[in-house]
Amino acid sequence: MTAVLTTLGILAFVLALVLSVAWHELGHMAAAKMFGIRCTQFFVGFGKTLWSRTWGETEYGIKAFPLGGFVRMVGMIPPSRHDPEASGKPMSRWRAMIEDARDAARVDLEPGDEDRQFYQRAPWKRLIVMFAGPVMNLVLAIVIFAVVMMGFGFFESTTTVGRVNECVVAAGEDVEGCPDNAPPTPALEAGIQEGDRILSVDGQETPDWGALQSTIRESGGATTIVLERDGETLTVQADVIESEVASLDENGEPIVRTDADGEPIVDEQGRYIPETEPAGFLGFTPLQERQPLTAGETVVEIGTISKDVVVHLVALPTKIPGLWEAAFLGGEREADSPVGVVGASRLGGEIVAMEIPAVDRTVMMLMLLATVNFFLFAFNMLPILPLDGGHILGAVWESVRRWWARMFTRPDPGPFDVAKLMPVAYVVVACFIGFSVLLLVADVVNPVRLIQ
């Protein structure tokens, strides 16, 4: 059954990814048509065409490898302003590459297309056309994040007891059960039970987990605890002791212990080892419940996720050595290692097969899809060809050149010839293909797993 669920999860994620790509390309095409640019093809995937049909003036279809998509517009690259053969001299290799790129991008004009070409539109219109694709991924990511955060929420610790610990063990110690010399926890001795909701500690009300946690940490010795059990209010006495507990940051999150290089230290099960400090200890684990976020909290959380995605995108080159070791040298695959389509799909399959409530699996799958869409937005905005950001940079540069010419009453320099940058684009594509192959190998032989 697990294998079946994993397969279904992989297929579901691949389908969601294909729809995300189609959504991206729809943004390009809708903006292009709005400005009167003729779009000849709208395809999802690359390689052999599996299916296509023509509606109106555009051919829509699906290709064999769902690793991207494209919208083919008339006049994406302007014609050369100079005849490369007029001089009678052989073209340089660089010029030959430029003209080959121009020929490959050329779409035969049909009657009426003379004024419907991409390069003929004002730079601001071309900027909108190229920006419309990534912004569709951004909008989709924000909508999914908002639905998850405001509709489902995240697990948060509550003042309800989820589990009473049997013995006192310092935070960060990797032990199973209770050591022979470990004393029972104050919570166990006080008779606190699973499901009890703690209302106050030594007269201080504890409306949320943060207040309860800080109050217990500051307590010591005989402590009066008021709790609610099965609708009744009870008072118990607990002898709060001092023990080594996890150190917390300003947000109440455990501070993770790091090595000399600043890398988090994990135990044999892959769990982060926290920094510790002496503080009051009662000895119970709080119940985790989903708490929907407010609109303001959602905005802050999306901003944090956005920052993390950008940081990871910028750090991609530094991850290549680790990927190489994981793929070919048997090195350990880091939990924050980048993943490709195969790796992300495997994570989707693993999520669906997890033995957790359906709502939790749904939330995890949606968060994964939203993060992928945000990454697609950020990646496509990189100012390099053949990415959308490269075309956006070309439109901006053309605007600057024309503004400069008007300022000094010089002739209009005309459209920026993006074909001149295509040799650089070939290098970028080659690097991207190499990185994709490395990701594929690592995702197959040493995948990132949610459960170790």
Largest CA distance in the chain: 99
User: Distances in Å between the alpha carbon of 105 and those of 42, 91, 174, 385, 418?
Assistant: 15, 19, 61, 14, 11
Q: Can you list the alpha helix ranges (DSSP code H) found in 190-294?
A: 209-218
Please tell me the distance from the alpha carbon of residue 207 to that of residue 157, in angstroms, as a whole number.
Answer: 12
Distance CA 245, CA 378 (A): 39
Q: Give residue 91's region: left, alpha or beta (phi > 0; psi -120 to 50).
A: beta
Residue in this structure with the two tokens 């040493």, named with its chain if needed: 446
User: Can you tell me which residue has the tokens 């150190």?
Assistant: 247
Report which residue type is found at 241: I
- Report the helix count and the strand count for the chain, using DSSP H and E: 11, 9
d(CA 191, CA 193): 6
Task: Please provide residue 356's backbone torsions phi and psi, each rounded to the nearest 5 degrees.
Answer: -135, 165
Q: Is 194 a catalytic residue?
A: no
Catalytic residue among 25, 110, 297, 325: 25
Q: Which residues contact 289 (CB under 8 A, 6 or more apart)?
A: 155, 156, 158, 160
Could you tell me the CA-to-CA distances from 358 to 3, 354, 355, 362, 365 in Å, in that order? Answer: 17, 9, 9, 6, 11
Other beta carbons within 10 angstroms of residue 341's beta carbon come to 19
| 26 touches 19 (CB < 8 A) | no
Residues 6 or more apart from 377 whose CB is under 8 A from it? 134, 135, 137, 138, 141
CA distance linking residue 395 with residue 129, whole number of Å? 11
Please answer whether residues 257 and 273 qualify as being in contact, where contact means their C-beta atoms are separated by less than 8 angstroms. Answer: yes
Which residues belong to the active site? 25
